[in-house]
Amino acid sequence: MTSKVLYRKWRPQRLTDVVGQESVTQTLQRAVATNRISHAYLLCGPRGTGKTSTARILAKAVNCTSPVDGEPDNTCDACVSISEGRALDLIEIDGASNRGIDDIRSLSDKINFAPNEFRYKVYIVDEVHMLTEQAFNALLKTLEEPPDHAIFILATTEAHKVPLTIISRCQRHDFRRVPLSAMSQKLAELCEAESVQATEEALEILARSATGSLRDAENLLEQAVVSYGSSLQGDQIREMLGLGGDAEALKLAEHVVAKSVGEGLATINEVSNSGADLRQLQRSVTEFLRAVMLVKSGSASELGYSDEVTTKIQEVASGSELSHLLKAIKAFSSADMRHDSSSPLPLELALVESSLAPEPVRQAAPAPQTQNNRPVQQQPARNAAPNSYQNNNSAPSRPPQQRQPDNRPSPRPPPRRDSSEPLPEDPAARLTVQWPQILRDLRNTGNRFKLGPVLRSAKGVSLDGSRIVAPFPHESHYDRFKGEMDNPGVRREVSAIINKAMGADYEIVGELSTENSGPTRKQANQSHLVRAAQLMGARIVDQREDEQS
Nearer to Zn ion, 115 or 244 (CB): 115
Indicate the pairing of strand 90-94 with strand 171-174: unpaired
CB of 148 to Zn ion, least distance (A): 21
CA–CA dist 121, 148 (Å, integer): 9
Nearer to Zn ion, 76 or 188 (CB): 76
Q: What SS3 class is residue 413? A: coil
CB of 532 to Zn ion, least distance (A): 23
Nearer to Zn ion, 87 or 143 (CB): 87
Q: Which helix (H) or strand (E) holds 230?
A: none
CB of 74 to Zn ion, least distance (A): 6
CB of 473 to Zn ion, least distance (A): 43
Please enumerate, as own/partner, the contacts of 193-200 that have beta carbons within 8 Å and a separation of 24 or more.
Answer: 193/9, 194/9, 194/225, 194/230, 194/528, 194/531, 194/532, 194/535, 195/230, 195/535, 196/221, 196/225, 196/230, 196/231, 196/232, 197/230, 197/231, 197/232, 198/224, 198/231, 198/232, 199/232, 199/233, 199/234
Please enumerate, as own/partner, the contacts of 235-242 that have beta carbons within 8 Å and a separation of 24 or more.
Answer: 236/202, 237/202, 237/205, 237/206, 237/209, 238/205, 240/453, 240/456, 240/457, 241/205, 241/209, 241/453, 241/456, 242/436, 242/439, 242/440, 242/443, 242/452, 242/453, 242/456
CB of 66 to Zn ion, least distance (A): 6
CB of 92 to Zn ion, least distance (A): 19
Q: Measured between alpha carbons, how far is residue 137 from residues 140, 144, 162, 458 in Å?
A: 5, 10, 12, 44
CB of 54 to Zn ion, least distance (A): 16
Nearer to Zn ion, 76 or 193 (CB): 76
CA–CA dist 227, 229 (Å, integer): 6
Nearer to Zn ion, 61 or 207 (CB): 61
CB of 93 to Zn ion, least distance (A): 23
CB of 72 to Zn ion, least distance (A): 5
Q: What is the DSSP string of 181-196?
A: HHHHHHHHHHHHHTT-
Nearer to Zn ion, 50 or 72 (CB): 72
What amino acid is encoded at 234 in this protein? G
- Asked if 335 and 329 count as a contact pair (C-beta separation under 8 A), the reply is no
Nearer to Zn ion, 121 or 327 (CB): 121
Max CA-CA distance within the chain?
89
Nearer to Zn ion, 66 or 369 (CB): 66
Nearer to Zn ion, 64 or 125 (CB): 64
CA–CA dist 477, 225 (Å, integer): 12
CB of 292 to Zn ion, least distance (A): 56
CB of 1 to Zn ion, least distance (A): 19
Residue 234 burial (CB count, 10 A): 18
Q: What is the DSSP string of 20-82?
A: T-HHHHHHHHHHHHTT---SEEEEE-STTSSHHHHHHHHHHHHH-SS-BTTB--S-SHHHHHH
Nearer to Zn ion, 81 or 267 (CB): 81
345-355 and 322-333 are packed helices; what angle lies between their axes, rounded to 10 degrees?
160
What amino acid is encoded at 546 in this protein? D
CB of 147 to Zn ion, least distance (A): 23
Return the bridge partners of 68, or none.
71
**CA-based angle 105:111:115, to the nearest 5?**
140
What amino acid is encoded at 161 in this protein? K
Q: Which helix (H) or strand (E) holds 289?
A: helix 278-296
Nearer to Zn ion, 60 or 408 (CB): 60
Nearer to Zn ion, 7 or 305 (CB): 7
Nearer to Zn ion, 49 or 81 (CB): 81
CB of 13 to Zn ion, least distance (A): 10
CA–CA dist 39, 199 (Å, integer): 45
- Provide φ and ψ at 228, rounded to 5°: -120, 0
- Asked if 293 and 326 count as a contact pair (C-beta separation under 8 A), the reply is yes
CA–CA dist 365, 377 (Å, integer): 12
**CA-based angle 110:116:118, to the nearest 5?**
115
Residues within the interface to Zn ion (CB under 5 A): 64, 72-73, 76, 79
CB of 495 to Zn ion, least distance (A): 45
Nearer to Zn ion, 72 or 100 (CB): 72
